[in-house]
Amino acid sequence: MFGKKIIPCVKVINGKSAEGPVYCGKRGPNDPVECAAAYARAGADGVMFLDVSARGEGVAEVVRRAAAELDVPVAAGCAGSPRELRALREAGAGGVVLGDAAVRNPGLVREAAEIFGRGGVTVAICAQRRGEGYWEVCTESGSRAERMDAYGWALAAEWLGAGELLLVSMERGGRVKPCDADFVKLVAPAVGVPVASACGAADCRELYGLLSCGMASSVVSSTLFRRSETSILTLKRFLSTMGLNVSGAEELLCGDAPELRLCAEA
């Protein structure tokens, strides 16, 4: 059984980081690779780069630098061009994340699987809850309702070649909710691929519920881990002491106790 993973997301615009952790090193928070390196030092199991402009500008070069400098897997969002898929692969990306582009062109999932292999394709499903047990797919940061059942889209995405699903529960205003275990519980048992959950700010106990009862295999966040380099390690220690199988668990209980107490009190 694979351990639960923690994946920070670095938002990129025009080749620079739109936001990053407070402790980023000499190059500062505007350098996306330095931000990713800070997360890697803090215990991240991988790093995801997301182009905020959704135009794919500058991301391939960021991926190229990150793949050369980091010792954790690197994935990147794709705006939707097969040419961009190939550019990201050539730059060293181990995986690609397809969101709105896959909704507009489902065949892109199959093309991505041919380039990256099934295990390297993640389909991000942004959805808003519309009723008991029903989530509607939305695009454009939650502002556009697609009249598409998120559960059905998850099944279709797996059939098309997705090796992982990333569920994003959106509020009506376009903000990512802290977490929605019900959404993950709906999808995870119905598919044969790992299901990750994107989350906004949340505390350790919320994430424990998401990864345990919620059945998520990993958590992806662009906001949760920005305050300090130790937050990822602190979270992992907490999850491990709560009985979850966490990636890198053999190294987690060898640190200072104060961090663990801070997390448990969150």
Kindly state the tokens that stand for 73. 């897997």
Nearest residue to 45 (alpha-carbon basis) of 11, 5, 76, 75: 5
pLDDT for residue 261: 33
Kindly state the tokens that stand for 17. 């980081």
CA 261, CA 266: separation in Å to the nearest integer? 9
Domains contained in the chain, CATH given: 5-228 (3.20.20.70)
Given a cut of 50, the residues of the chain with pLDDT beneath it are: 27, 173, 229-230, 256-266
Kindly state the tokens that stand for 63. 């991926």
Nearest residue to 20 (alpha-carbon basis) of 43, 57, 49, 55: 49
pLDDT for residue 259: 42
Q: Which residues contact 39 (CB under 8 A, 6 or more apart)?
A: 8, 10, 21, 47, 225, 229, 232
DSSP conformation letters of 70-121: -SS-EEEEE-S-HHHHHHHHHHT-SEEEESHHHHH-THHHHHHHHHH-GGGE
Q: Which residues contact 226 (CB under 8 A, 6 or more apart)?
A: 19, 20, 21, 22
pLDDT for residue 141: 80
DSSP type of residue 227: S
pLDDT for residue 55: 63
| Per-residue pLDDT tens over the stretch 186-208 | 999 999 999 999 876 567 777 88
Helix axes 82-91, 59-69, angle to 10 degrees: 20
pLDDT for residue 212: 84
Distances (CA, A) of 101 to 95, 181, 241, 246: 16, 25, 39, 32
pLDDT for residue 256: 46
pLDDT for residue 174: 52
pLDDT for residue 78: 86
pLDDT for residue 264: 35
pLDDT for residue 176: 66
Q: What is the CB neighbour count within 10 angstroms for residue 105?
A: 14
237 membership: H or E segment, kind and range: helix 231-241
| Per-residue pLDDT tens over the stretch 39-52 | 898 889 999 999 87
pLDDT for residue 250: 61
pTM confidence score: 0.88
Q: Where are the beta strands (DSSP E) in the chain?
A: 5-13, 16-17, 47-51, 74-78, 95-98, 121-131, 134-139, 144-149, 164-169, 195-198, 218-221
